[in-house]
Each structure stands twice: as C-alpha cells, then as structure tokens.
Amino acid sequence: MGEDKIKNMEEFAARSGVSRPTVSKYFNDPNSVRKSTRIRIEAALERYDYRPNVYAINQNRRLTKNIGIVVPFVADPFFAELARNIEQRFIAAGFSPTTFSSHGSPQHENEILDTLRSIRPAGVLMAPLGRASDRSSIEKFCDDVPTVLFDSNIEGVGEAFVGSNNMQFVQLSVEYLCRTGEPPIFLEMSPVNPNANKRRNAFIQTMERLGFEPHIVRVDGEGWGFEEIGYKGGLKLISERSLPTKSVLCSNDRLAIGFLAACYEQGLRVGHKADCDIRVAGHDDHPFSRFTCPSLTTVSQDYEAISERSVETLLALIESGGTGDSRHETLFEGKLVMRASA
C-alpha cells in the first residue's frame, strides 16, 4: 500500500474510479452507496491509505461528530474508568469523543466549556463539579449544545441527568450496619456536590426511620484531596476520642480510605470481627477499595449502567435534533459490597 501519497479526496476519488461527491458520501456513511462502488472505494483505501482531513470535514459539516466528555477530576480513578467506558461507547457509535477534566476547579470547568464551544460538538456529557460549578455558565452552554449531565446533578440544567440513587445507597449501608452492630455515625466533609447532601439527608431519614438518633460528624478540608481530608480528620477525631460510636459510615470511599489510614496509624483495629475496635464503611466502590486494609465495605455504583444510559440518552438527544421534550432524571441503584471493614 501507499504507492504515492494522496493529497486530497479529489485525488483519491480519481484513483478509486469514483466521483468525489460519492466518495464523500461514502465517508459519511458507507452504507449509503451501492455495494459495487463501496467495494471499489474500499479496495482503493487498502492501496493508498488516505484519510479525509478532519478540519475540512468539520468546517463544512452542519454538525460535527464530536462529543465532549467532562469529568470533575480525572486523577480520581473512578472518573477515569467512567470516562474510558463512555468514550468507547461513543466510538462504537461512530462519534469522536474527547475527555476533559475540570481538575476540581470551577474556573477550569468554564474554560472547558469555552473549548467545547470551539469544537462545535454534536453533544456533551458532563459530570459537573457540583456546588462549586458556575451554574449560569453551564446553563448558557446547555442552551447552545445538547448536554446530558451525569454523576452529579444540577437541578434544571441540561436536557437530562443520569446518576445514582443516593437515597437507596445510604439506606443499604445504614440498614446493614444497624442490623449487624452498633448504629453508625455519618462522616462527611464539606459537600462538594449534591450527592453528598443527599447522602447526609438520607442518613438522617433512615436512622430516624429505624429509631436511632442520627449523628453526623463533619471533618474540615476543601478541595478534591478527599483521602487527605479523611486522614487528617480521622487523626483528629481519634486522638481527641470524640467519636461517639464504633461504627463509622463515610460519605464516600475516598474519605473512608483516608479515615482507614488514620485508624491504622492510631492503632485502631478496623473490621466486623469481635476483636476489632471500629467498623468503617463507605459508598461508591472505588477501584481502590478492594485493596485497603482492611478491604472496604461499601455500596457499589453501577457505573456500567450509568455510562450506558448516559450515552444512550445523549445519542437519542442528538438524533432528535437537540431539543428533548422534558428533562428526565435516571437514577440507578447500588449494591451492598460486604468486605472486611464492616
């Protein structure tokens, strides 16, 4: 292959013995041309590796095949895996996804929206920072570009939302902990997104329903270094002996990972066995939760389902022309993952 380099579609069309408009049609949808001509084009493709210029394509198409994927913090393996999963689904659907990370900064998040506008995407799948997000910027963006939110909701923004049922998550964990031992306290940090608030409220509600006093402990710290926050907060709580119970339910796994490190350092034995000092559980089933010491009991996010539904929803939105009728929210249930820590 590759006798001599092909400059453009004109040349390639000549080589393949087909007119340029037909070749153009082929690249937009190989099934839109007759079988015999498809064979001729593909035979030429093997001989002269030619690829249409993406910039020329995107400049002229009414709508590009680009998809923007925005996650709040790609250094969190949970989001990295989610993004990877989503990317591959879009590729399979014939789109060109690009992933962006807000790196925990609302300013960066806004810059990403600017970048996204400039690539004129067919649609965007966005997991916003949450509380720190600049609501009006995102709202304006959603007016221009078909956007589906996932993971973290912003009420009324975007054409749809796909995420987890935080209420059910916390019900699962609280009921389990209450059933198998002392009722837990809820360890949280300054909430970065609505999920955190929903989890806390669900904790209160579930504890009250079960007839227990809900006790919430908030640890200090800002930003996306959740482990650090859980660790430092844990050290403080343990050394001051201000933990009122022997069961700790963490708002999320990353916080729990930090808290476990503090427990270990302070000599607290964590687990559900008789000789243990404290039980610790989390939420999300973070990729690292299997490798904590002890392994972390948690509620797993169904991220296969979340990514699948997000992609489906956005593709449907794009096909419908961008204006979904009414904003729809989909929440997936979690599963209790019992490990050694609680």
Binding of residue 8 to DNA (CB under 7 A)? yes
- Least distance between DNA and beta carbon 255 (Å): 46
Radius of gyration of the chain (CA): 25
SS3 46: helix
Q: How far is CA 86 from CA 89, 197, 288, in A?
A: 5, 26, 20
125: tokens are 């799948």
Binding of residue 156 to its own copies (CB under 8 A)? no
- Least distance between DNA and beta carbon 53 (Å): 4
Q: How far is CA 118 from CA 59, 136, 141, 175, 324, in A?
A: 11, 19, 12, 48, 23
With respect to DNA, which residue has the nearer C-beta, 32 or 190?
A: 32
Binding of residue 74 to its own copies (CB under 8 A)? yes
- Least distance between DNA and beta carbon 4 (Å): 15
Q: Which of 3, 55, 274, 321 binds its own copies (CB under 8 A)?
A: 55
**Contact partner, 204, from DNA, its own copies, none, Cβ < 5-8 Å per class:** none
**Contact partner, 291, from DNA, its own copies, none, Cβ < 5-8 Å per class:** its own copies
- Least distance between DNA and beta carbon 206 (Å): 53
- Least distance between DNA and beta carbon 47 (Å): 16
- Least distance between DNA and beta carbon 64 (Å): 10
Strand partners, 124: 68, 147
Asked whether 184 and 243 are in contact (CB, 8 A), the reply is no
Binding of residue 173 to its own copies (CB under 8 A)? no
Letter for the amino acid at 92? A
In sign, the C-alpha dihedral spanning 64, 69, 74, 77 is negative
Binding of residue 165 to its own copies (CB under 8 A)? no
- Least distance between DNA and beta carbon 116 (Å): 17
With respect to DNA, which residue has the nearer C-beta, 35 or 241?
A: 35
How many H-runs (helices) and E-runs (strands) does the chain carry?
A: 12, 12
Q: Of the ranges 25-33, 183-191, 215-223, 285-293, which one interacts with its own copies (CB under 8 A)? A: 285-293
**Contact partner, 295, from its own copies, DNA, none, Cβ < 5-8 Å per class:** its own copies
- CA dist 186 and 251 (Å) reads 7
Q: What is the dihedral of CA 90, 91, 97, 98, to 10 degrees?
A: 130
With respect to DNA, which residue has the nearer C-beta, 10 or 319?
A: 10
Binding of residue 320 to DNA (CB under 7 A)? no
Strand partners, 281: 249, 297
Q: Which of 1, 5, 36, 113 binds DNA (CB under 7 A)?
A: 36
End-to-end Cα separation, the chain, in angstroms: 61
- CA dist 298 and 11 (Å) reads 59
**Contact partner, 17, from DNA, its own copies, none, Cβ < 5-8 Å per class:** DNA
User: Taking CB under 7 A as the rule, which mask of x and - marks residues 38-57 in contact with DNA?
Assistant: x-------------xx--xx
Asked whether 37 and 22 are in contact (CB, 8 A), the reply is yes
Q: Which of 1, 3, 60, 323 binds DNA (CB under 7 A)?
A: 60
- CA dist 167 and 332 (Å) reads 11
160: tokens are 């749809």
Asked whether 15 and 44 are in contact (CB, 8 A), the reply is yes
Chain residues in the site for DNA (CB under 7 A): 7-10, 12, 17-22, 24-25, 27-28, 32-34, 36-38, 52-53, 56-57, 59-62
